[in-house]
Amino acid sequence: MKLGFFFGAGAEISYGLPSGGKFAIDLFRQDPSPFRTAFRHQLQTIDVMSTYATDWLPQGFKEKRIHAFGRSEFTCLIESSIEYRRTEIIRRLNQFDSECDAAMSTLGISRELLEQKFSEVVGSSIGDRVYTHAIKLNELLAKDVNLFGSNYYSAMLDIVKNSDNSDDLKRYVTAFLQLLVGAHGQDLVCKLNQELFETAPDDLPIFDDISGMFRLEFNRIGSTALELLLEENRSFGTADSDTGLSLFCAIAQNVLESIFTTVLDYQKLIDDHFRYLFSPETDWAKFTKMVIFLKIARDYIQSQAPDISTISSEGYYHDLADFVNNHEFSAIGTANYNSLLAPIFEQQKMSIPEVIHLNGCVHDYYNPYKNTVVTCENTDELDQSQIYVPFILTQSGLKPLTSVTMSRRYVQLFDAYNDSDAIVVVGFGFNKDDSHINGLFRELIESYGKKLFVISRDVDGSAEQQQRDLRKKLRISNSYSKSVVVVPVNSNTRCIGEELWVNYVISMLKPDDIQEAKHGK
């Protein structure tokens, strides 16, 4: 049997690597200073009299200030997150108690301890008093808001009201409130802008001229949340000696971070800057911000990669050991930037085909002047007379995909998948940001009759529910329902029932399926 595999960030979480959301948050917590210094040295090596410098770089580029993303870009992050992920923000805030329960489990805080510390401050139990009727959001924004009926959010409000020096917790409850109002407010603004006139003549364009008049003040929405997450990287103790105030701060911090790991969207920020990689003389500030961002991204990704020799836990890559002895890989693709799979297999003295990185990797470098991608282990191998930046395709920047090197990767992987009995995807979210990858799978399913197995988490819903959601993400009709199979597994054991995910997939593939795959049906 010949299978193709594709891995996303979820496949490497068990090896200690961050999820895609945590990666996004941590990127903006990094100190840009050493990367500015390194880029300054890089600029000094460029010949000011070369055609490259005189035609492409601005006058005095060696002395110009090198910029990096900072506070001024935080508003853009909030705007993009609320505009495109507002439904998810509202959903998460509506289940605030569940979010807090998960945070307490993560932090190791028992309900009994929290109840005790809360009672010492307020004199009652959590849930005895809730603010359902005491606080009511304007019905123009929303008619049904669950946050004020939450036991934990109500408890946080009581702690703020009954504690001295509660500024920390006050900022957290304010942050959640800002997100709630901002997400519902964005919904209202969109409706007003799209439906300003319920009816209007099609042949009178003046009505189009006054549409889109309303907008939110994003610099006041979510700014507190981003300050708490990005500026301070806050942490709190959770020992028995801690107060109710500090315990609720720890829980609130964890919930806030958990929400932002799913909603933080920086595509607009990247879109507003990426184009200037190709024209530094047009806007040097945006050019250098993008260069520094990519350097920070590469350094952070490399710093998160575990030492293979010290990996004690097993994960999805280790699970392939039996597969490689009895079956064949057609190809292995990944949206990840590190490549743990190859060294893990080398450690076990097993061979695999080359891992194809569709979003770039830590060994890929991009020359925006020539729109070329080169791969090398050591930066000393790069042409020092021109600027190369790490090729880390984070949420946007599709233009490098037009380079010959990247086009070949896609064609190579597509052809190999087409020569497979089936394709197995692990830990990949099929999000809108990855439409270039989603299209590859859609083409294989619709035009070449390939079967796609998607390994997911059982806590994310039933197989049927996740399968419906996946068809929507891939934009394929129900007629292809048998071509997409979701396999929900236990996150810890990676099993469905008692069977390991890879063995389950093999058992699901019938001889007829394999024959159809070979004939492209």
pLDDT in tens, 29-42: 889 999 999 999 99
Q: b/e string for 203-229 if b means 16 or more Cβ within 10 A?
A: eeeeeeeeeeeeebebeebbbbbbebb
Question: Residue 440's closest CA among 407, 395, 486?
Answer: 407
Other C-beta atoms closer than 10 Å to the C-beta of 121 total: 18
pLDDT at position 395: 56
pLDDT of 417 strictly over 60: yes
* CA–CA gap between residue 425 and residue 428 (Å, rounded): 7
pLDDT at position 512: 59
Other C-beta atoms closer than 10 Å to the C-beta of 191 total: 11
pLDDT at position 496: 93
* CA–CA gap between residue 177 and residue 238 (Å, rounded): 25
Instruction: State pLDDT tens for residues 284-295.
Output: 999 999 999 999
Contact (CB, 8 A) for 242 and 236? yes
pLDDT of 21 strictly over 70: no
Contact (CB, 8 A) for 477 and 449? no
Residue/partner pairs of 233-242 with CB below 8 Å, 24 or more apart: 233/29, 238/107, 238/108, 238/109, 240/113, 242/117
Residue range 231-258: mean pLDDT, rounded: 77
Q: How does residue 422 score in pLDDT terms, banded at 50, 70 and 90?
A: very high
pLDDT of 377 strictly over 90: no
* CA–CA gap between residue 486 and residue 456 (Å, rounded): 7
pLDDT at position 211: 67
Instruction: State pLDDT tens for residues 469-518.
Output: 999 999 998 888 889 999 999 988 999 999 999 999 999 986 655 555 55
Length of the chain: 521
pLDDT at position 141: 82
Contact (CB, 8 A) for 422 and 505? yes
Residue 320 DSSP label: G
* CA–CA gap between residue 114 and residue 257 (Å, rounded): 20
3-state secondary structure of 476: coil
Instruction: State pLDDT tens for residues 292-345.
Output: 999 998 998 888 888 877 776 688 998 998 888 889 999 999 999 887 888 888
Residue 227 DSSP label: I
pLDDT at position 169: 93
Instruction: State pLDDT tens for residues 345-374.
Output: 888 788 888 899 998 899 999 999 998 999
* CA–CA gap between residue 336 and residue 361 (Å, rounded): 7
* CA–CA gap between residue 241 and residue 261 (Å, rounded): 30
The 3-class secondary structure across 239-293, one letter per residue, is CCCCCHHHHHHHHHHHHHHHHHHHHCCCHHHHHHHHHHHHCCCCCHHHHHHHHHH
pLDDT of 443 strictly over 90: yes
Instruction: State pLDDT tens for residues 142-185.
Output: 777 899 999 999 999 999 999 888 998 999 999 999 899 888 88
pLDDT at position 61: 96
